């Protein structure tokens, strides 16, 4: 039987966030020569800024397109965390720490969702029970990773795998001829490869605008405040009505996040700081004694329904996109990479790839 898979030997990835780097590693593993162009330094944008919760917030508020990628991504993360640790020596601090969801609006419907989706659910553990169990739920399988470490690990793993990382190299134009992309223009010259994958996060829409059919991807700013407390103050993630606290193993606690449509403005604001501090202090008064270490902002690649586009361009046969993961790009990345490989190489993907098609 002839191999039905299309054969590709080289690929150029545009964007070095989690989705670009992880796609690059998977394509390299599949035997391709891979080069990656990154406008600044890899892993310094949304993928660095995120909280690293490996779950939708909360999962029952989302449709199957989001949950299929999120659940598959979460299932693959322990393996990826170990792979990155071994390849780079940097531990991304994957921890199945669990997540408390407080003030659940329709608790019975949420419980039914968990039951139908085999998502383990319980009452709050004793250390969190003071928040009250009548409208709360505990999801013990929710895990987290520490974004900056995961991104450093991915960078080192990519270099060691032989991926050519070109940092400080923005893709400025896609050169086309007929139904193909023939090269990518940058200030350091034109790069060529058999195929091109756009993985430029919030900037993907702008990058693809000139070739037509650009997916709807727009920046949505998120801000976070970081505390340093004693390790063990909080056992797991706590989510309440749009805000969360995420405890790291060494005692850092992230309070997030805002959802702001302010274009490509990455500034932090006093309003967001006040909003996040108010939430954090009400939920965990002990944080009043903790040092505030930092506040930052990142631009999520916002998309309608939080559904990314992971597909081939409708006209240009060697152009692909893996972008628009919005609020859950870290959770989804391992599964999104599988969908991309299905689209590019015909490899098996455990999730249905149809919802991530590139619309006309």
List phi, psi (to 5°) of 151.
-70, -35
The half-sphere exposure of 280 on its side-chain side, counting CA atoms within 13 A, is 29
Among 67, 88, 152, 257, binds ligand FAD (CB under 6 A): 257
CB of residue 204 vs ligand FAD: minimum separation in angstroms? 7
CA dist list (Å): 270 to 142, 289, 290: 31, 20, 19
Among 27, 181, 197, 199, binds ligand FAD (CB under 6 A): 199
First to last CA, the chain: 34
Residue 45 in the binding site for ligand FAD (CB under 6 A): yes
The residue (of 5 and 241) whose beta carbon lies closer to ligand FAD is 241
Tokens of 279: 């939430």
Q: Which stretch binds ligand FAD (CB under 6 A): 48-56, 87-95, 116-124, 228-236?
A: 48-56
The residue (of 325 and 343) whose beta carbon lies closer to ligand FAD is 325
Residue 59 in the binding site for ligand FAD (CB under 6 A): no
Residue 50 in the binding site for ligand FAD (CB under 6 A): yes
Residue 77 in the binding site for ligand FAD (CB under 6 A): no
List phi, psi (to 5°) of 161.
-80, -5
Residues 262-321 that bind ligand FAD (CB under 6 A): 298, 300-301
Q: How far apart are CA 231 and CA 53, in angstroms?
A: 18
The residue (of 14 and 341) whose beta carbon lies closer to ligand FAD is 14
Residues 331-350 that bind ligand FAD (CB under 6 A): 331
Residue 176 in the binding site for ligand FAD (CB under 6 A): no
The residue (of 109 and 294) whose beta carbon lies closer to ligand FAD is 294
**Helix, strand, coil shares of the chain as percentages rounded to 5?**
35, 25, 40
Q: Which stretch binds ligand FAD (CB under 6 A): 32-40, 83-91, 156-164, 267-275?
A: 32-40
Q: How far apart are CA 109 and CA 225, in angstroms?
A: 32
Between strands 309-312 and 291-302, the pairing is: unpaired
The residue (of 318 and 331) whose beta carbon lies closer to ligand FAD is 331
**What are the DSSP calls for 203-251, one per residue?**
GHHHHHGGGS-----EEEEEEEEEEE--TTSSSSEEEETTEEEEE-TTS
Contacting residues toward ligand FAD, per CB under 6 A: 14-20, 37-40, 44-47, 49-53, 170-171, 199-203, 207, 222, 224, 256-257, 298, 300-301, 323, 325-331
């Amino acid at each position: 039987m002839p191999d039905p898979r299309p054969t590709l030997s080289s690929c150029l990835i545009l964007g070095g966030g989690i989705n670009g780097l992880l796609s690059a590693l998977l394509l390299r593993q599949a035997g391709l020569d891979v080069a990656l162009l990154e406008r600044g330094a890899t892993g310094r944008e949304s993928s660095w800024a995120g909280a690293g919760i490996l779950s939708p917030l909360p999962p029952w508020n989302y449709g199957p397109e989001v949950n299929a990628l999120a659940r598959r991504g979460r299932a693959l993360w322990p393996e990826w965390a170990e792979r990155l640790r071994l390849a780079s020596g940097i531990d991304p601090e994957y921890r199945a720490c669990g997540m408390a969801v407080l003030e659940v609006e329709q608790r019975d419907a949420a419980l039914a969702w968990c039951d139908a989706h085999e998502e383990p659910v319980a009452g709050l553990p004793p250390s969190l029970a003071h928040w009250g169990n009548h409208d709360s739920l505990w999801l013990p399988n929710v895990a987290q990773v520490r974004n900056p470490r995961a991104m450093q690990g991915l960078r080192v793993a990519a270099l060691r795998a032989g991926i050519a990382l070109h940092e400080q190299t923005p893709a400025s134009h896609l050169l086309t001829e007929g139904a193909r992309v023939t090269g990518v223009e940058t200030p350091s010259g034109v790069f060529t490869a058999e195929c091109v994958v756009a993985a430029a996060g919030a900037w993907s829409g702008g990058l693809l605008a000139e070739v037509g059919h650009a997916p709807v991807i727009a920046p949505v700013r998120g801000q976070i405040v970081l505390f340093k407390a004693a390790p063990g103050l909080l056992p797991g993630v706590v989510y309440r009505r749009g805000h969360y606290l995420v405890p790291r193993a060494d005692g850092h606690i992230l309070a997030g996040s805002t959802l702001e449509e302010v274009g490509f403005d990455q500034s932090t604001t006093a309003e967001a700081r006040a909003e996040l501090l108010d939430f954090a202090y009400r939920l965990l008064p002990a944080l009043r004694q903790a040092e505030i270490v930092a506040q930052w902002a990142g631009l999520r690649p916002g998309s309608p329904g939080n559904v990314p586009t992971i597909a081939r361009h409708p006209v240009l046969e060697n152009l692909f996109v893996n972008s628009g993961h919005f609020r859950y790009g870290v959770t989804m990345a391992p599964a999104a990479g599988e969908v991309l490989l299905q689209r590019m190489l015909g490899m098996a993907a455990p999730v249905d790839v149809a919802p991530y098609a590139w619309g006309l």
